[in-house]
Amino acid sequence: MNMNISTTEKETEYVVVLSGELDVYTAPELQQVLEPIRHAGTHDVNIDLTEVGYMDSTGLGIFVGTLKDLNQHGKSLRVSGASKRILRLFEITGLRDLMYINETSEVE
């Protein structure tokens, strides 16, 4: 179970591109990358899931924590490139109503 993470800092946002599987085993890697970004609260965050084939509830938990921290700083979390399967996770948990989720990638 592998997860590759790349981050790009832009003027107003961090773009975080994930590839692989986001689950209980790989989530700590993403948590480690997002922790300083979300606590600083200086940028919006756009997470691209285009290359993520599988995600479990651990990944959802990271998104919820990130969303909470960013909202406290007036910043937003965007999720893009979610597959139908991953999009369904956001829908059944009600998270789709709490954050901006786009099925296509927004990364340039």
Give domain status of residue 40, yes or no: yes
Query: 45-99: per-residue pLDDT in tens?
Result: 999 999 999 999 999 999 999 999 999 999 999 999 999 999 999 999 888 888 8
Does a structural domain hold residue 3? Answer: no
* pTM score, whole prediction: 0.90
Q: Is residue 58 part of a domain?
A: yes
**94 vs 53, 66, 89, CA distance in Å?**
21, 16, 9
The residue range of the domain holding 89 is: 10-102
Strand partners, 19: 4, 51
Residue 52: predicted pLDDT = 96
How many domains does the structure of the chain reveal?
A: 1
Q: Looking at the domain assignment, is residue 20 inside a domain?
A: yes
What is the arithmetic mean of pLDDT over 36-50?
94
pLDDT reported for residue 100: 85
CATH of the domain at 72: 3.30.750.24
Is residue 85 domain-resident?
yes
Tell me, yes or no, whether 27 lies in a domain: yes
Residue-level pLDDT at 7:
96
